[in-house]
Structure 1
Amino acid sequence: MRLASTIVALALAGALPAYSDSASLDAREKALVSHLTAGENASIALLEQIVNVNSGTMNFAGVRKVGDVLRPRFEALGFKVTWVDGAPFQRAGHLVATRPGRGPHVLLIGHIDTVFEPNHPFQRWERVDQNIARGPGAADMKGGIVVGLAALDALRQAKLLDSLQITVVLHGDEEDSGRPLDLARRDLIEAAKAADIAIGLENAADDPKTAVTARRSSTGWVVKVTAKSSHSSQIFSDEVGAGAAYELGRILNGFYEQVRGEEFVTFNPGLVASSTQIDFKGQPLSATLSGKNNIVTPIAIASGDLRTLTMQELEDTRAKMRKVVAASLPQTSATIEFTDSYPPMAPTEGNRKLLSMYDAVSRDLGFGPVTEVNPRNAGAADISFAANHVEMALDGLGLLGGGSHTPEEFADLRTFKIQSQRLAVLLYRLGKK
Structure 2
Amino acid sequence: MTILKPSETATLERAADAPMLAQVERWAAVNSGTGNLAGLKTVAGLLADAFSALPGTVRLVAPDPVESIDAAGRVQTIERGAHLHLRVRPEAPVQLLLTGHMDTVFAADHPFQSLKWLEPGVLNGPGTADMKGGIAVILAALSALEASPLAERVGYDVMINSDEETGSHASAALIAELARGKTAALTYEPALPDGTLAGARPGSGNFSVLIHGRSAHAGRNPEDGRNALVAAADLALRLNALKSPDLKVNPAKIDGGGPNNVVPDQAILRVNMRPMTPDAMAAAEAALRDAIAAIQRDHDVHCHLYGGFNRPPKPLDAAATRLFELVRDCGAALGLSIGWNATGGVCDGNNIAACGIPVVDTMGPRGGAIHSSDEFLIVDSLAERAQLSALTLMKIAERGTV
TM class, shorter-chain normalised?
0.7 to 0.9
* Compared CA separation, residues 302 and 64, structure 1 to 2 (3 A): closer
Q: Which letter maps to 2:60?
A: W
Give 1:330 shift: 5.2
CA distance in 1 between partners of 2:205 and 2:64 (Å): 24
What is residue 188 of structure 2 aligned with on the other side?
A: 201
TM-score, normalized by length of structure 2? Answer: 0.85
* Compared CA separation, residues 323 and 130, structure 1 to 2 (3 A): same
Give 1:207 shift: 4.5
User: What is the 5 A alignment of 1:165-244?
Assistant: 165-176=155-166, 181=169, 184-203=171-190, 205-222=192-209, 224=211, 226=213, 229=216, 231=218, 243-244=227-228
User: What is the 5 A alignment of 1:1-400?
Assistant: 24-37=3-16, 39-40=17-18, 42-86=19-63, 90-100=79-89, 102-176=92-166, 181=169, 184-203=171-190, 205-222=192-209, 224=211, 226=213, 229=216, 231=218, 243-257=227-241, 259-261=242-244, 263-272=245-254, 275=257, 289-292=258-261, 297-328=264-295, 332-335=300-303, 337-340=305-308, 342-347=310-315, 348-371=317-340, 373-376=341-344, 378=345, 380-400=346-366
CA distance in 2 between partners of 1:330 and 1:215 (Å): 32
Q: Is residue 247–residue 276 contact of structure 2 (8 Å, CA) maintained in 1?
A: yes
CA distance in 1 between partners of 2:240 and 2:38 (Å): 45
Give 1:117 shift: 3.4
SS in 2 for 1:250: helix
Question: Which structure 2 residue ranges, 5 or more long, are not aligned?
Answer: 67-78
SS in 1 for 2:114: coil
* Compared CA separation, residues 227 and 375, structure 1 to 2 (3 A): farther
SS in 2 for 1:325: helix
CA distance in 2 between partners of 1:194 and 1:23 (Å): 30
TM-score, normalized by length of structure 1? Answer: 0.79
User: What is the 5 A alignment of 1:398-413?
Assistant: 398-413=364-379
Cα displacement string for residues 91-148 of structure 1 (whole angstroms, at most 9, x for unaligned residues): 2201100111633211001011222333333323323332111222101100000011
Give 1:230 shift: 5.5
CA distance in 2 between partners of 1:75 and 1:197 (Å): 23
Q: Which letter maps to 1:253?
A: L
Q: Is residue 206–residue 270 contact of structure 2 (8 Å, CA) maintained in 1?
A: no
Cα displacement string for residues 373-395 of structure 1 (whole angstroms, at most 9, x for unaligned residues): 3232x2x2223222222431110
Give 1:233 shift: 8.6
Q: Is residue 104–residue 431 contact of structure 1 (8 Å, CA) maintained in 2?
A: yes
Aligned length: 384
Give 1:177 shift: 5.8
CA distance in 1 between partners of 2:110 and 2:225 (Å): 49
CA distance in 1 between partners of 2:377 and 2:232 (Å): 44
CA distance in 1 between partners of 2:182 and 2:342 (Å): 26
* Compared CA separation, residues 355 and 250, structure 1 to 2 (3 A): same
Q: CA RMSD in A?
A: 2.8
CA distance in 2 between partners of 1:395 and 1:418 (Å): 16
Q: Is residue 216–residue 346 contact of structure 1 (8 Å, CA) maintained in 2?
A: yes
CA distance in 2 between partners of 1:359 and 1:428 (Å): 14
Give 1:402 shift: 1.7
Q: Is residue 64–residue 171 contact of structure 2 (8 Å, CA) maintained in 1?
A: no
* Compared CA separation, residues 224 and 215, structure 1 to 2 (3 A): same
CA distance in 2 between partners of 1:331 and 1:409 (Å): 46
Question: Which structure 1 residue ranges, 5 or more long, are not aligned?
Answer: 1-21, 276-288
What is residue 397 of structure 2 aligned with on the other side?
A: 431
* Compared CA separation, residues 213 and 117, structure 1 to 2 (3 A): same
* Compared CA separation, residues 375 and 116, structure 1 to 2 (3 A): closer
Q: Which letter maps to 2:123?
A: A
Q: Which letter maps to 2:325?
A: S
